[in-house]
Copies of this chain bind each other. A is one copy, B any other.
């Protein structure tokens, strides 16, 4: 059901010829109301694609009627022509939906630097085609239409107290923080103001997508959009809604991790007893981005020396000679020296847990990443993406 699980939403996914494979490549999700509340968060990369430049402005009203997404080209660094393509996409969708262009969020993903006349023509016709096929059952088609190198669609549905959250995500490479590289649309039939939607979305993404760092490469096109229709007629308890939205985001984030390009291990790096949460994230991320650590996990080698060498590059508060490292439950390093024999660590499964105890304070954070494998190198060297 994906984004059409909550009441008030319709969606469609169509093949517009952007993908050479002929697979679906344009999705539209429409909020039929009665509310048209919306919020979005965007990549913090200064190199932003044209749809990001458009959507960042359009969302400032705290409202949106629809999101139009394509997965056949990033429309990034395509100049004024590319921005006009985005603008025309919003205008075409608005006209067909009978709303204002500022109510249309636009998202793109694919190869940077592509977005010619043919691309524009197909995006515009695909948008019209999708709008003609909108349906309250269209969530799954939409989830398929945003896939690029994803091997499976990612969707989520969470039930609250009389309200529902639905969502879909795509993303398999360029997965790094602020945000992880991806497009996400979340929907709900709960009643929310624009301010509430924005605050909930930022809180939820901060501890989910922002903690996913598959390959350290930050995208130009990331966007997470939340639309609320209010169609349930229920105003949710704020804490309950935020918890549910966070759960939805975590579900989609872990689905992205599990399908990351060429990955063999899903690695949860948890930093314990840090001075504060920011430092816990910094320390965890230094490990998540260390290629020697990532290749060691691929090789199923509990190489805690590479963990300590990685965290030693940060300026977080801790004594490098008084740190514990535990891998899949076996403490292999304590107080700056070897502890249990590394042979006791079993890294043969996909799920990998690395706990780093800094012994300083009370804060903790977990960063999710993947190993660095032959398949990753293959996927990212053999094709332009």
A interface residues, Cβ below 8 angstroms from B: 44-48, 74, 76-79, 111-113, 173-174, 215-220, 289-292, 295-296, 298-299, 301, 303-306, 308-314, 320-321, 333, 335-338, 372-374, 376-378, 380-384
| Distance, CA A85 to CA B321, complexed state (A) | 17
From the candidates B173, B216, B338, B382, name the one contacting A299 in the complex (CB within 8 A). B382
Q: Say whether, besides A305-B113, A374-B377, A376-B295, A45 and B312 are in contact (CB < 8 Å).
A: yes
- Distance A174 CA – B295 CA, assembled complex (angstroms): 12
**A217: contacting residue among B291, B376, B381, CB under 8 A:** B291
Pick from B78, B311, B378, B382: contact of A47, CB under 8 Å:
B311
Residue of A174, A216, A312 with most partner-chain B CB within 10 A: A312
**A-B contact list, 22 entries, CB within 8 Å:** A45-B313, A74-B305, A76-B305, A77-B308, A77-B337, A78-B337, A113-B304, A113-B333, A113-B337, A113-B338, A174-B309, A216-B290, A217-B309, A218-B313, A295-B376, A295-B377, A295-B381, A296-B380, A299-B380, A299-B382, A373-B381, A377-B377
**A173 touching B292 by the CB < 8 A rule?**
yes
Q: Given the complex of chains A and B, what is the CA–CA distance between A382 and B291 in angstroms?
A: 14
Nearest Cβ in chain B — how far from A81, in angstroms?
8
Which 3 residue pairs spanning A and B have beta carbons closest together? A112-B305, A47-B312, A299-B381
Smallest distance from the beta carbon of A347 to chain B beta carbons, Å? 11
Q: Provide the residues of chain B in CB contact with A298, threshold 8 Å.
A: 377, 381
A374: which B residues are within 8 A, CB to CB?
374, 377-378
- A47 lies within 8 A of B111 (CB): no
Q: A312 is contacted by which of B218, B289, B306, B320 (Cβ under 8 Å)?
A: B218
Pair B377/A292 contact, Cβ less than 8 Å: no
Cβ B377 vs Cβ A218 within 8 A: no
A180 smallest CB distance to B (angstroms): 13
Chain B residue at smallest Cβ distance from A43: B312
Residue of B nearest to A382 (CB): B299
